[in-house]
Amino acid sequence: MRAKYVLAEVMVGLWRNVTMTIAMIMTMAVSLSLLGASLLMFWQVQDMKDYFNYKVEVSIFLEKATEEQRNDLQQKLKTDPLVKTADYESKEQAYRKFKEQFKDAPELVNATQMDALPESFRVKLNDPTKVDEIRNKYNGQPGVGQIIDQRQLLDKIFSILGSLQKLALIIAIVQGVAALLLVGNTIQVAAYSKRREVSIMRLVGASNWFIQAPFVMEAAFAGIIGAFLAYIVLVLARWLLLDGALKPLMNATIITPIPWENIHLMLPLLAVVAGVINAVVGWITLRFYIKV
Amino acid sequence: MIRLEHVTKTYPKASRPSIEDATVSIEKGEFVFFIGPTGSGKSTIVKLMLREITPTKGKVYVNGKDITSMHSWKVANFRRSIGCVFQDFRLLPNRTAFENVAFALEVIGKTKSVARRVVPEVLELVGLGGKEHRFPHELSGGEQQRVAVARAFVNRPLILLADEPTGNLDPDTSIEIMRLLDRINRTGTTIVMVTHDSNIVNQMRRRVIEVDGGRIVRDQARGVYG
């Protein structure tokens, strides 16, 4: 009976002020979807870092190296404790790779001579973070030309993703503040429109809990609806963006796919966050408007 | 039953206290009038007894409990032992007489079946039998006040506070409400009534406490207004 009463009051409260309720829920949904997106991106960057760290390769290009120098270098790399594997890539192999990569541009392939491509060692490290040590060690050694590691490229991608994530987080916070102000306002209006009931409740000795519960639940309920909408936005975003427009990038394994589990996890996570924060804001608002 | 000990209440920003050094003792089953001109502080006394406000100095005891130092979360429970009636009735316009009275039971956690049993009884008692399903706007002022009295009395409180209950009613209707309060008083309920209706006070011949300028200037058993 209690639950039924509270639920009925919540519905009446939300409906009585329906335009404000919609505004509040929409603002909240935007904020929560950005918060969710930001969180997903954060996880993703961590994930990608692990993934690429595992795969990261250092290319040591040779320049006018004699055979002796090359063997020497190979020997050194093989015995180096930092190095996991070191594969030699000859000019022929490089050329074959090049032809494969640019098979859509035959003019380019034709215009490139096999000799123009450098031979190299493709080095995988035991500890991918020690790239700089490898660079320092082999830079300037006889026959060694450029040393390139993929991390420089990846760091750029990560920094782009990182700033996107920060941007999303900032917008989420700004929108979140707006949403919370709307929650406070909605609860004020709700409390005002029910001031007669509230004053009579106080008069006949209804407990604070009983008076406040419908309002607090109203706020929490709006938050949960907002979270649900945000979840739908995230699902659509993954579906339309990652499975749609950004698919080629994913196929090229530049972006690792965001697992569905992570997105589904957002529903309970956002619902709890929004529900609890809204309830607290609603309750604090009430403390100013309903006094014992 | 109710005891005020050297109570002073100064509202914030007010230059002088609304009530100054008031000491009153009301016994169980008494019927007491607080009289005095507007602004004399008699409504402040009702608010103090209801713990809507706390005194600046002094102590208020109701039902043997010191309500000045009562925890705020205990106030709700305390108020269940007190019924209240006001000049403006304070009924919910979108609820029937029955629902208005039942609301008081509902919000303190009583079940619907209790309400179905108790509410018709108390409406019968206040003389509204057969009008349970009228809305306030379908009732006369006197009848609305009867609903308010029924709501105040439905929990069988030990004390009934009435703040100018006849203020909005014509003399004949006022007399009827007074008869009703008198009947409730005879069941053993202590009644504290604030009024400036001299006719009523003179007719009832009950204890009269006169307040003027925040001070108690007269306390007389079986008193009259003037």
Kindly provide the ipTM of the predicted complex, given to two decimals.
0.84
| Beta-strand relationship, A120-125 and A83-89 | antiparallel
What distance, in Å, lies between the first and last C-alpha atoms of chain B?
27
Residues of A in contact with B84 (CB under 8 A): 203-204
Contacts of B77 (CB under 8 A, 6+ apart): A205, A207
Q: Give the three-state DSSP class for B26.
A: strand
- The residues in B 56-85 lying below 8 A from A, measured between CB atoms, are 72-73, 75-82, 84
Q: pLDDT at residue A123 above 70?
A: yes
Place A117 in a pLDDT band, splitting at 50, 70 and 90. Answer: confident
| Residues A290 and A191: beta-carbon distance below 8 Å | yes
Query: What does the pLDDT look like over B62-91, one tens digit per residue?
Result: 998 999 989 888 898 999 999 999 999 999
Q: Give me the residue label for tokens 């000049």.
A: B87
Indicate the residue of B82, B107, B155 with minimum beta-carbon distance to A210. B107
Tell me how far apart the 2 most distant CA atoms of chain B are, in Å: 52
DSSP B127: T
**Cα of A227 vs its chain's centroid, Å:** 17
Is B196 in the A-facing interface, judged by CB distances under 8 Å? no
Q: Are B91 and B134 in contact (CB under 8 A)?
A: no
Q: Quickly list H helices, A56-149.
A: 67-79, 91-101, 106-111, 131-138
pLDDT at B9: 94
Kindly provide the b/e burial profile for residues B203-226, where b requires at least 16 CB atoms within 10 angstroms of the residue's own CB: ebebbbbbbeebebeeeeeebebe
Q: pTM higher than 0.90, yes or no?
A: no
Give the residue from B196, B157, B169 showing the smallest Cα distance to B63: B157
A203 touches chain B (CB under 8 A): yes
Q: Are strands B57-62 and B2-9 parallel, antiparallel or unpaired?
A: antiparallel
Report d(CA B116, CA B102) in Å as an integer.
Answer: 8
Q: Measure CA B195 to chain center.
A: 11
pLDDT at residue A289 is higher than 80? no
Q: Looking at the predicted structure, is the pLDDT value of residue A292 above 70?
A: no
B54 inside 8 A of chain A by CB: no
Whether A6 and chain B come into contact, CB under 8 Å, resolves to no
Q: Closest CB to A1: pick one of B73, B111, B151.
A: B111
